[in-house]
A and B are shown apart, each in its own frame.
Chain A
Protein backbone atom coordinates (compact mmCIF):
# COMPACT_ATOMS: atom_id res chain seq x y z
CA UNK A 1 0.00 0.00 0.00
CA UNK A 2 1.34 3.43 -0.90
CA UNK A 3 2.60 5.70 1.86
CA UNK A 4 1.08 9.15 2.11
CA UNK A 5 3.26 11.99 0.93
CA UNK A 6 4.06 13.04 4.50
CA UNK A 7 6.88 15.50 3.62
CA UNK A 8 4.39 17.41 1.45
CA UNK A 9 1.64 17.21 4.08
CA UNK A 10 4.02 18.51 6.75
CA UNK A 11 5.33 21.27 4.47
CA UNK A 12 1.75 22.46 3.78
CA UNK A 13 0.96 22.42 7.49
CA UNK A 14 4.02 24.51 8.27
CA UNK A 15 2.60 27.13 5.90
CA UNK A 16 -0.57 27.14 8.00
CA UNK A 17 -2.61 24.89 5.73
CA UNK A 18 -3.60 22.05 8.07
CA UNK A 19 -6.52 20.82 5.96
CA UNK A 20 -4.48 18.16 4.17
CA UNK A 21 -2.98 16.95 7.44
CA UNK A 22 -6.39 16.76 9.12
CA UNK A 23 -8.08 14.94 6.25
CA UNK A 24 -5.19 12.44 6.02
CA UNK A 25 -5.51 11.77 9.75
CA UNK A 26 -9.21 11.13 9.28
CA UNK A 27 -8.83 8.95 6.18
CA UNK A 28 -5.97 6.84 7.56
CA UNK A 29 -7.69 6.00 10.83
CA UNK A 30 -10.16 3.34 9.63
CA UNK A 31 -7.73 1.93 7.07
CA UNK A 32 -4.63 1.45 9.17
CA UNK A 33 -5.20 2.16 12.85
CA UNK A 34 -8.77 1.73 14.08
CA UNK A 35 -8.81 -2.06 14.26
CA UNK A 36 -5.43 -2.41 15.89
CA UNK A 37 -6.19 0.34 18.40
CA UNK A 38 -9.54 -1.17 19.37
CA UNK A 39 -7.65 -4.42 19.97
CA UNK A 40 -5.21 -2.55 22.18
CA UNK A 41 -7.61 -0.35 24.12
CA UNK A 42 -10.77 -2.48 24.07
CA UNK A 43 -12.97 0.51 23.29
CA UNK A 44 -13.83 2.41 20.13
CA UNK A 45 -13.97 5.75 21.96
CA UNK A 46 -10.64 5.17 23.70
CA UNK A 47 -9.05 4.05 20.39
CA UNK A 48 -10.07 7.30 18.67
CA UNK A 49 -8.97 9.43 21.64
CA UNK A 50 -5.57 7.72 21.84
CA UNK A 51 -5.12 8.08 18.06
CA UNK A 52 -5.99 11.80 18.11
CA UNK A 53 -3.66 12.46 21.02
CA UNK A 54 -0.86 10.57 19.26
CA UNK A 55 -1.44 12.49 16.03
CA UNK A 56 -1.47 15.78 17.93
CA UNK A 57 1.93 14.83 19.31
CA UNK A 58 3.05 13.92 15.77
CA UNK A 59 1.89 17.36 14.56
CA UNK A 60 3.59 19.06 17.51
CA UNK A 61 6.92 17.40 16.76
CA UNK A 62 7.06 17.57 12.99
CA UNK A 63 5.00 20.70 12.19
CA UNK A 64 5.32 22.91 15.24
CA UNK A 65 8.85 22.00 16.34
CA UNK A 66 10.32 21.26 12.89
CA UNK A 67 11.74 17.87 13.85
CA UNK A 68 13.05 15.69 11.06
CA UNK A 69 10.51 13.20 9.74
CA UNK A 70 11.68 9.56 9.47
CA UNK A 71 12.62 8.81 5.88
CA UNK A 72 10.91 5.43 5.66
CA UNK A 73 7.72 3.78 6.89
CA UNK A 74 6.09 6.85 8.40
CA UNK A 75 2.88 4.84 8.87
CA UNK A 76 4.74 2.36 11.10
CA UNK A 77 6.35 5.24 12.96
CA UNK A 78 2.93 6.83 13.54
CA UNK A 79 1.58 3.54 14.87
CA UNK A 80 4.48 3.34 17.29
CA UNK A 81 3.81 6.90 18.50
CA UNK A 82 0.11 6.22 18.94
CA UNK A 83 0.78 2.95 20.79
CA UNK A 84 3.32 4.67 23.05
CA UNK A 85 0.77 7.38 23.66
CA UNK A 86 -1.67 4.70 24.85
CA UNK A 87 0.91 3.59 27.42
CA UNK A 88 1.30 7.19 28.57
CA UNK A 89 -2.48 7.70 28.75
CA UNK A 90 -2.81 4.46 30.78
CA UNK A 91 -0.07 5.65 33.11
CA UNK A 92 -1.97 8.88 33.73
CA UNK A 93 -5.25 7.02 34.28
CA UNK A 94 -3.65 4.62 36.73
CA UNK A 95 -1.88 7.40 38.62
CA UNK A 96 -3.40 7.74 42.05
CA UNK A 97 -2.55 11.38 42.59
CA UNK A 98 -3.16 13.15 45.82
CA UNK A 99 -2.00 16.36 44.21
CA UNK A 100 -2.79 16.97 40.58
CA UNK A 101 -0.87 19.24 38.25
CA UNK A 102 -3.99 21.26 37.57
CA UNK A 103 -4.24 21.98 41.27
CA UNK A 104 -0.88 23.69 41.06
CA UNK A 105 -2.31 25.94 38.35
CA UNK A 106 0.92 25.61 36.48
CA UNK A 107 0.14 28.13 33.74
CA UNK A 108 -0.63 30.82 36.26
CA UNK A 109 2.60 30.11 38.09
CA UNK A 110 4.52 30.41 34.82
CA UNK A 111 3.16 33.87 34.25
CA UNK A 112 4.54 34.94 37.60
CA UNK A 113 8.02 34.94 36.10
CA UNK A 114 9.14 38.49 35.35
CA UNK A 115 12.54 40.10 34.89
CA UNK A 116 14.43 37.01 35.97
CA UNK A 117 12.50 36.59 39.22
CA UNK A 118 9.56 34.55 40.32
CA UNK A 119 6.88 36.86 41.70
CA UNK A 120 5.18 35.07 44.54
CA UNK A 121 1.85 36.86 44.49
CA UNK A 122 -0.34 35.87 47.35
CA UNK A 123 -3.78 35.79 45.78
CA UNK A 124 -7.00 34.98 47.68
CA UNK A 125 -7.13 31.77 45.65
CA UNK A 126 -3.61 30.85 46.73
CA UNK A 127 -4.34 31.60 50.34
CA UNK A 128 -7.09 29.02 50.30
CA UNK A 129 -4.87 26.52 48.63
CA UNK A 130 -3.76 23.46 50.54
CA UNK A 131 -0.67 23.05 48.44
CA UNK A 132 1.00 26.38 49.07
CA UNK A 133 4.19 24.79 50.38
CA UNK A 134 4.55 22.67 47.28
CA UNK A 135 3.88 25.74 45.14
CA UNK A 136 6.58 27.60 46.98
CA UNK A 137 9.08 24.76 46.49
CA UNK A 138 8.08 24.58 42.85
CA UNK A 139 8.78 28.30 42.39
CA UNK A 140 12.17 28.04 44.10
CA UNK A 141 13.13 25.03 41.97
CA UNK A 142 12.06 26.86 38.82
CA UNK A 143 13.94 30.02 39.76
CA UNK A 144 17.09 27.97 40.46
CA UNK A 145 16.75 26.26 37.09
CA UNK A 146 16.27 29.51 35.19
CA UNK A 147 19.22 31.14 36.98
CA UNK A 148 21.47 28.41 35.54
CA UNK A 149 20.40 29.15 31.95
CA UNK A 150 22.55 31.12 29.52
CA UNK A 151 21.65 34.78 28.90
CA UNK A 152 20.25 34.04 25.42
CA UNK A 153 17.78 31.50 26.80
CA UNK A 154 16.74 33.89 29.56
CA UNK A 155 16.12 36.59 26.94
CA UNK A 156 14.02 34.19 24.88
CA UNK A 157 11.85 33.37 27.90
CA UNK A 158 11.37 36.98 28.81
CA UNK A 159 10.06 37.90 25.37
CA UNK A 160 7.35 35.23 25.67
CA UNK A 161 7.72 34.63 21.99
CA UNK A 162 5.38 32.46 20.09
CA UNK A 163 4.33 33.60 16.63
CA UNK A 164 6.69 34.00 13.68
CA UNK A 165 6.48 37.76 13.44
CA UNK A 166 7.59 38.30 17.01
CA UNK A 167 10.30 35.74 16.56
CA UNK A 168 11.62 37.71 13.58
CA UNK A 169 11.58 40.93 15.63
CA UNK A 170 13.49 39.21 18.37
CA UNK A 171 16.05 37.97 15.86
CA UNK A 172 16.88 41.59 15.04
CA UNK A 173 16.65 42.73 18.65
CA UNK A 174 19.05 40.07 19.91
CA UNK A 175 21.34 40.49 16.86
CA UNK A 176 21.13 36.86 15.78
CA UNK A 177 23.20 36.58 12.65
CA UNK A 178 21.95 33.21 11.48
CA UNK A 179 18.77 32.38 9.62
CA UNK A 180 15.25 32.37 11.05
CA UNK A 181 15.72 28.62 11.54
CA UNK A 182 18.71 29.36 13.80
CA UNK A 183 16.55 31.06 16.40
CA UNK A 184 13.95 28.29 16.16
CA UNK A 185 16.71 25.75 16.86
CA UNK A 186 18.03 27.92 19.67
CA UNK A 187 14.59 27.98 21.27
CA UNK A 188 14.37 24.17 21.03
CA UNK A 189 17.73 23.82 22.77
CA UNK A 190 16.62 26.25 25.50
CA UNK A 191 13.44 24.23 26.11
CA UNK A 192 15.54 21.10 26.44
CA UNK A 193 17.99 22.80 28.78
CA UNK A 194 15.40 24.25 31.12
CA UNK A 195 13.50 20.93 31.19
CA UNK A 196 16.63 19.13 32.30
CA UNK A 197 17.67 21.79 34.83
CA UNK A 198 14.21 22.09 36.34
CA UNK A 199 13.87 18.31 36.48
CA UNK A 200 17.20 18.06 38.32
CA UNK A 201 16.05 20.72 40.81
CA UNK A 202 12.76 18.90 41.42
CA UNK A 203 14.66 15.64 41.94
CA UNK A 204 17.20 17.18 44.30
CA UNK A 205 14.52 18.96 46.35
CA UNK A 206 12.48 15.75 46.25
CA UNK A 207 9.32 17.58 45.21
CA UNK A 208 6.70 14.92 44.62
CA UNK A 209 3.73 15.46 42.41
CA UNK A 210 1.81 12.45 43.56
Chain B
Protein backbone atom coordinates (compact mmCIF):
# COMPACT_ATOMS: atom_id res chain seq x y z
CA UNK B 1 0.00 0.00 0.00
CA UNK B 2 1.29 3.41 -0.93
CA UNK B 3 2.46 5.76 1.80
CA UNK B 4 0.34 8.43 0.09
CA UNK B 5 -2.76 6.28 0.51
CA UNK B 6 -2.03 5.72 4.22
CA UNK B 7 -1.45 9.45 4.63
CA UNK B 8 -4.82 10.36 3.09
CA UNK B 9 -6.68 7.80 5.26
CA UNK B 10 -4.85 9.06 8.33
CA UNK B 11 -5.78 12.65 7.52
CA UNK B 12 -9.39 11.63 6.94
CA UNK B 13 -9.61 10.37 10.53
CA UNK B 14 -7.88 13.53 11.73
CA UNK B 15 -10.74 15.42 9.95
CA UNK B 16 -7.96 17.22 8.14
CA UNK B 17 -8.79 16.82 4.44
CA UNK B 18 -9.52 19.90 2.36
CA UNK B 19 -12.70 20.15 0.30
CA UNK B 20 -11.21 18.70 -2.88
CA UNK B 21 -9.49 15.82 -1.07
CA UNK B 22 -12.64 15.04 0.89
CA UNK B 23 -14.76 14.86 -2.26
CA UNK B 24 -12.30 12.56 -3.95
CA UNK B 25 -12.09 10.45 -0.76
CA UNK B 26 -15.89 10.13 -0.61
CA UNK B 27 -16.02 9.15 -4.27
CA UNK B 28 -13.40 6.49 -3.73
CA UNK B 29 -15.22 5.14 -0.68
CA UNK B 30 -18.30 4.65 -2.85
CA UNK B 31 -16.60 3.25 -5.92
CA UNK B 32 -13.77 1.16 -4.52
CA UNK B 33 -14.72 -1.60 -2.07
CA UNK B 34 -11.05 -2.52 -1.42
CA UNK B 35 -10.35 1.04 -0.40
CA UNK B 36 -13.44 0.95 1.82
CA UNK B 37 -12.09 -2.16 3.57
CA UNK B 38 -8.72 -0.46 4.04
CA UNK B 39 -10.40 2.55 5.64
CA UNK B 40 -12.24 0.26 8.06
CA UNK B 41 -9.05 -1.66 8.84
CA UNK B 42 -7.24 1.61 9.49
CA UNK B 43 -10.03 2.74 11.81
CA UNK B 44 -9.74 -0.50 13.79
CA UNK B 45 -5.94 -0.15 13.94
CA UNK B 46 -6.19 3.46 15.10
CA UNK B 47 -8.76 2.69 17.82
CA UNK B 48 -6.65 -0.23 18.98
CA UNK B 49 -3.48 1.88 19.10
CA UNK B 50 -5.17 4.52 21.26
CA UNK B 51 -6.56 1.88 23.57
CA UNK B 52 -3.08 0.37 23.95
CA UNK B 53 -1.29 3.62 24.72
CA UNK B 54 -4.09 5.51 26.40
CA UNK B 55 -6.38 3.01 28.12
CA UNK B 56 -9.68 4.74 28.81
CA UNK B 57 -9.06 7.21 25.99
CA UNK B 58 -12.59 6.75 24.65
CA UNK B 59 -14.00 7.39 28.14
CA UNK B 60 -12.06 10.64 28.39
CA UNK B 61 -13.47 11.79 25.05
CA UNK B 62 -16.98 10.73 26.01
CA UNK B 63 -16.75 12.71 29.25
CA UNK B 64 -15.53 15.79 27.38
CA UNK B 65 -18.42 15.51 24.93
CA UNK B 66 -20.90 15.21 27.80
CA UNK B 67 -19.37 18.28 29.49
CA UNK B 68 -19.87 20.31 26.30
CA UNK B 69 -23.43 19.06 26.02
CA UNK B 70 -24.24 20.11 29.57
CA UNK B 71 -23.67 23.79 28.84
CA UNK B 72 -26.85 25.10 27.19
CA UNK B 73 -26.47 26.58 23.73
CA UNK B 74 -26.42 30.35 24.08
CA UNK B 75 -29.05 31.66 21.69
CA UNK B 76 -28.30 35.25 20.72
CA UNK B 77 -31.08 37.60 21.71
CA UNK B 78 -32.02 41.01 20.39
CA UNK B 79 -30.53 43.74 22.54
CA UNK B 80 -32.42 46.98 23.09
CA UNK B 81 -30.85 50.33 23.77
CA UNK B 82 -32.57 53.17 25.60
CA UNK B 83 -31.75 56.62 24.33
CA UNK B 84 -33.38 58.30 27.34
CA UNK B 85 -32.22 61.48 29.10
CA UNK B 86 -32.12 63.37 25.85
CA UNK B 87 -32.26 66.63 27.79
CA UNK B 88 -28.80 66.49 29.29
CA UNK B 89 -27.31 68.48 26.44
CA UNK B 90 -25.91 68.25 23.00
CA UNK B 91 -22.55 66.78 24.01
CA UNK B 92 -24.16 64.02 26.00
CA UNK B 93 -26.56 63.31 23.13
CA UNK B 94 -23.66 62.81 20.77
CA UNK B 95 -21.98 60.44 23.25
CA UNK B 96 -25.20 58.49 23.63
CA UNK B 97 -25.62 58.24 19.89
CA UNK B 98 -22.09 56.97 19.55
CA UNK B 99 -22.70 54.47 22.33
CA UNK B 100 -25.97 53.41 20.70
CA UNK B 101 -24.18 52.92 17.39
CA UNK B 102 -21.55 50.85 19.15
CA UNK B 103 -24.07 48.60 20.87
CA UNK B 104 -26.44 48.35 17.94
CA UNK B 105 -23.77 46.76 15.77
CA UNK B 106 -23.64 43.44 17.62
CA UNK B 107 -27.43 43.50 17.96
CA UNK B 108 -27.74 43.66 14.19
CA UNK B 109 -25.27 40.83 13.79
CA UNK B 110 -27.25 38.67 16.16
CA UNK B 111 -30.48 39.34 14.28
CA UNK B 112 -28.65 38.41 11.13
CA UNK B 113 -27.57 35.07 12.65
CA UNK B 114 -31.14 34.32 13.71
CA UNK B 115 -32.49 35.30 10.30
CA UNK B 116 -29.90 33.11 8.63
CA UNK B 117 -30.94 30.13 10.73
CA UNK B 118 -34.66 30.72 10.09
CA UNK B 119 -34.01 30.96 6.32
CA UNK B 120 -32.05 27.72 6.35
CA UNK B 121 -34.72 25.87 8.28
CA UNK B 122 -37.40 27.11 5.86
CA UNK B 123 -35.22 26.18 2.89
CA UNK B 124 -35.00 22.64 4.22
CA UNK B 125 -38.68 22.41 5.01
CA UNK B 126 -39.52 23.58 1.49
CA UNK B 127 -37.95 20.49 -0.12
CA UNK B 128 -40.78 18.18 -1.10
CA UNK B 129 -39.26 14.97 -2.42
CA UNK B 130 -42.67 13.27 -2.57
CA UNK B 131 -43.90 15.92 -5.00
CA UNK B 132 -40.82 15.39 -7.18
CA UNK B 133 -41.37 11.65 -7.15
CA UNK B 134 -45.03 12.05 -8.08
CA UNK B 135 -44.22 14.46 -10.91
CA UNK B 136 -41.83 11.82 -12.29
CA UNK B 137 -44.57 9.20 -12.15
CA UNK B 138 -47.28 11.43 -13.64
CA UNK B 139 -45.36 12.73 -16.61
CA UNK B 140 -43.42 10.64 -19.09
CA UNK B 141 -41.07 13.56 -19.71
CA UNK B 142 -40.14 13.72 -16.04
CA UNK B 143 -39.45 10.04 -15.49
CA UNK B 144 -35.69 10.70 -15.74
CA UNK B 145 -35.90 12.17 -12.28
CA UNK B 146 -36.16 8.80 -10.51
CA UNK B 147 -32.44 7.78 -10.57
CA UNK B 148 -31.46 11.36 -9.69
CA UNK B 149 -33.90 11.36 -6.80
CA UNK B 150 -32.61 8.01 -5.62
CA UNK B 151 -29.01 9.28 -5.64
CA UNK B 152 -30.10 12.41 -3.77
CA UNK B 153 -31.91 10.38 -1.10
CA UNK B 154 -28.82 8.25 -0.56
CA UNK B 155 -26.81 11.49 -0.20
CA UNK B 156 -24.65 10.63 -3.19
CA UNK B 157 -24.44 14.24 -4.32
CA UNK B 158 -21.66 13.66 -6.87
CA UNK B 159 -23.88 11.12 -8.57
CA UNK B 160 -26.80 13.58 -8.57
CA UNK B 161 -24.59 16.08 -10.40
CA UNK B 162 -23.35 13.47 -12.88
CA UNK B 163 -26.85 12.12 -13.62
CA UNK B 164 -28.39 15.56 -13.97
CA UNK B 165 -25.80 16.80 -16.50
CA UNK B 166 -28.00 15.86 -19.47
CA UNK B 167 -31.26 17.23 -18.07
CA UNK B 168 -30.47 20.84 -17.28
CA UNK B 169 -33.69 21.98 -18.94
CA UNK B 170 -35.91 20.04 -16.54
CA UNK B 171 -36.87 22.14 -13.55
CA UNK B 172 -37.34 19.31 -11.03
CA UNK B 173 -33.97 17.79 -11.89
CA UNK B 174 -32.37 21.25 -11.74
CA UNK B 175 -33.69 21.59 -8.22
CA UNK B 176 -31.99 18.35 -7.13
CA UNK B 177 -28.83 19.44 -8.97
CA UNK B 178 -28.83 22.76 -7.12
CA UNK B 179 -29.45 21.06 -3.78
CA UNK B 180 -26.63 18.59 -4.44
CA UNK B 181 -24.22 21.42 -5.25
CA UNK B 182 -25.35 23.33 -2.15
CA UNK B 183 -24.81 20.30 0.08
CA UNK B 184 -21.40 19.71 -1.47
CA UNK B 185 -20.48 23.30 -0.60
CA UNK B 186 -20.30 24.33 -4.31
CA UNK B 187 -22.31 27.49 -3.85
CA UNK B 188 -21.59 29.12 -7.24
CA UNK B 189 -22.76 26.04 -9.11
CA UNK B 190 -25.83 25.81 -6.85
CA UNK B 191 -26.69 29.45 -7.62
CA UNK B 192 -26.45 28.75 -11.38
CA UNK B 193 -28.74 25.72 -11.10
CA UNK B 194 -31.35 27.50 -8.99
CA UNK B 195 -31.32 30.54 -11.28
CA UNK B 196 -31.72 28.28 -14.33
CA UNK B 197 -34.71 26.68 -12.60
CA UNK B 198 -36.28 30.12 -12.03
CA UNK B 199 -36.25 30.76 -15.78
CA UNK B 200 -38.40 27.64 -16.41
CA UNK B 201 -42.05 26.97 -15.61
CA UNK B 202 -41.96 25.06 -12.33
CA UNK B 203 -43.80 24.37 -9.12
CA UNK B 204 -40.48 24.34 -7.25
CA UNK B 205 -39.60 28.01 -7.58
CA UNK B 206 -40.18 28.84 -3.91
CA UNK B 207 -37.71 26.12 -2.85
CA UNK B 208 -35.09 27.49 -5.25
CA UNK B 209 -35.73 31.03 -3.96
CA UNK B 210 -35.30 29.95 -0.32
CA UNK B 211 -32.04 28.16 -1.12
CA UNK B 212 -30.75 31.20 -3.01
CA UNK B 213 -31.63 33.33 0.03
CA UNK B 214 -29.77 30.93 2.28
CA UNK B 215 -26.67 30.84 0.11
CA UNK B 216 -26.42 34.64 -0.12
CA UNK B 217 -26.94 34.98 3.64
CA UNK B 218 -24.15 32.46 4.11
CA UNK B 219 -21.98 34.64 1.87
CA UNK B 220 -22.76 37.68 4.09
CA UNK B 221 -24.72 39.30 1.27
CA UNK B 222 -28.07 40.28 2.83
CA UNK B 223 -28.82 42.75 0.00
CA UNK B 224 -28.86 39.98 -2.57
CA UNK B 225 -30.68 37.63 -0.18
CA UNK B 226 -33.40 40.25 0.22
CA UNK B 227 -34.04 40.33 -3.54
CA UNK B 228 -34.96 36.62 -3.43
CA UNK B 229 -37.07 37.04 -0.29
CA UNK B 230 -38.89 39.83 -2.14
CA UNK B 231 -39.55 37.46 -5.07
CA UNK B 232 -41.10 34.96 -2.61
CA UNK B 233 -43.34 37.74 -1.28
CA UNK B 234 -44.23 39.06 -4.75
CA UNK B 235 -44.91 35.54 -6.05
CA UNK B 236 -47.44 35.02 -3.19
CA UNK B 237 -45.99 31.61 -2.45
CA UNK B 238 -47.32 29.80 0.66
CA UNK B 239 -44.12 30.76 2.50
CA UNK B 240 -44.52 34.48 1.63
CA UNK B 241 -45.46 35.30 5.23
CA UNK B 242 -42.22 33.81 6.54
CA UNK B 243 -40.30 35.80 3.91
CA UNK B 244 -42.04 39.02 5.06
CA UNK B 245 -41.12 38.33 8.69
CA UNK B 246 -37.51 37.65 7.71
CA UNK B 247 -36.99 40.55 5.34
CA UNK B 248 -37.73 42.96 8.18
CA UNK B 249 -35.06 41.43 10.41
CA UNK B 250 -32.01 42.65 8.56
Is A142 in contact with chain B by the CB < 8 A criterion? yes
Determine the chain B residues whose CB is within 8 A of the CB of A18 once the complex forms. 64, 67
- Distance of A173 Cα from B250 Cα, bound (Å): 64
> A84 with B69: in contact, given A1-B109, A162-B56, A187-B53 (CB under 8 Å)?
no
Residue contact A31 to B183, C-beta cutoff 8 Å: no
Give 13 pairs: A residue, B residue, CB < 8 Å, sorted on A. Answer: A1-B109, A22-B68, A26-B71, A35-B117, A59-B61, A83-B22, A84-B15, A87-B25, A110-B52, A113-B52, A191-B49, A202-B45, A208-B40
B:181-229 near A, CB below 8 Å: 182-183, 185, 214, 217-218
Chain B residues positioned under 8 Å from A198 (CB to CB): 45, 48-49
Task: Flag if B155 contacts A157 (CB, 8 Å).
Answer: no
Query: Could you tell me the distance in whole angstroms from the C-beta of A205 to the nearest C-beta in chain B?
Result: 10
Q: Are A40 and B183 in contact (CB under 8 A)?
A: yes
State whether the Cβ of B88 lies closer than 8 Å to any Cβ in chain A.
no
- CB 8 Å contact bits of B51-74 with A (1 = contact, 0 = none): 111111110110011011111111
- State which of B94-102, B120-128, B133-141, B142-150 sits at the interface with chain A: B120-128
- Would B76 and A30 count as touching, CB distance under 8 A? yes
A174 interface residue per 8 A CB criterion: no
Does A15 sit within 8 A of B, measured CB to CB? no
Selected from B1, B110, B116, the residue in CB contact (under 8 A) with A35 is: B116
Q: In the complex, which residues of chain B have a beta carbon less than 8 angstroms from the beta carbon of A66?
A: none
User: How close is A163's CB to chain B, nearest CB, in angstroms?
Assistant: 10
Chain A residues numbered 22-70 whose CB sits less than 8 Å from any CB in chain B:
22-23, 25-27, 29-31, 34-36, 38-40, 42, 44, 48, 52-57, 59-61, 64
Contact B52 A39 (CB under 8 A): no
Given contacts A84-B17, A101-B47, contact A56 B61 (CB under 8 A): yes
Which residue of chain B is the closest to A26 with respect to CB atoms? B71
Bound CA–CA A191/B52 (angstroms): 8
A4 close to chain B: CB less than 8 A: no
Candidates A35, A56, A111, A203; contact of B38 at CB < 8 Å: A203
User: B75 in the interface, Cβ–Cβ < 8 Å?
Assistant: yes
**A128 on the interface (CB 8 Å rule)?**
no
A160 CB–B CB distance under 8 Å: yes
Known: A18-B67, A101-B47, A199-B45. A64 touches B60 (CB 8 A): yes
Within 8 Å of chain A (Cβ to Cβ): is B233? no
The dominant DSSP class at the B interface is helix
Which residue among A84, A145, A202 has the maximum number of chain B CB atoms within 10 Å of its CB?
Answer: A84
B29 close to A (CB within 8 Å): yes
- Do A106 and B53 form a contact, CB below 8 Å, given A64-B60, A198-B45? no
For B, the interface residue count at a CB cutoff of 8 angstroms equals 69
Known: A107-B51, A199-B45. A25 touches B155 (CB 8 A): no
* B interface with A by C-beta (< 8 Å): 1, 6, 10, 12-19, 22, 25-26, 29, 37-58, 60-61, 64-65, 67-76, 109-110, 113, 116-117, 119-121, 123-124, 154-155, 182-183, 185, 214, 217-218
Instruction: Known pairs A106-B48, A161-B54; list 11 more (Cβ under 8 Å).
Output: A30-B117, A34-B73, A35-B119, A35-B214, A38-B120, A90-B155, A162-B55, A162-B56, A202-B44, A208-B37, A209-B43
* CA of A55 to CA of B61, assembled, Å: 10
Of B29, B40, B68, B73, chain A has the most CB atoms within 10 Å of the CB of: B68
Contact A39 B182 (CB under 8 A): yes
B74 to A, closest residue via Cβ: A27
Q: A39-B214, A57-B15 are in contact. Are A194 and B74 (CB under 8 A)?
A: no
CA distance A31 to B114 in the complex (A): 8
How close is B135's CB to chain A, nearest CB, in angstroms? 21
With A157-B52, A194-B49, A198-B49 already in contact, the answer to whether A34 and B29 are too (CB < 8 A) is no
User: Within the complex, what minimum Cβ distance (angstroms) separates B216 from chain A?
Assistant: 13
Cα separation A48 to B69 with both chains bound (whole Å): 9
Residues in B neighbouring A203, C-beta threshold 8 A: 1, 38, 41
- A85 to B, closest residue via Cβ: B15
Residues of A within 8 A of B72 (CB): 26
A207 CB-CB contact with B under 8 Å: yes
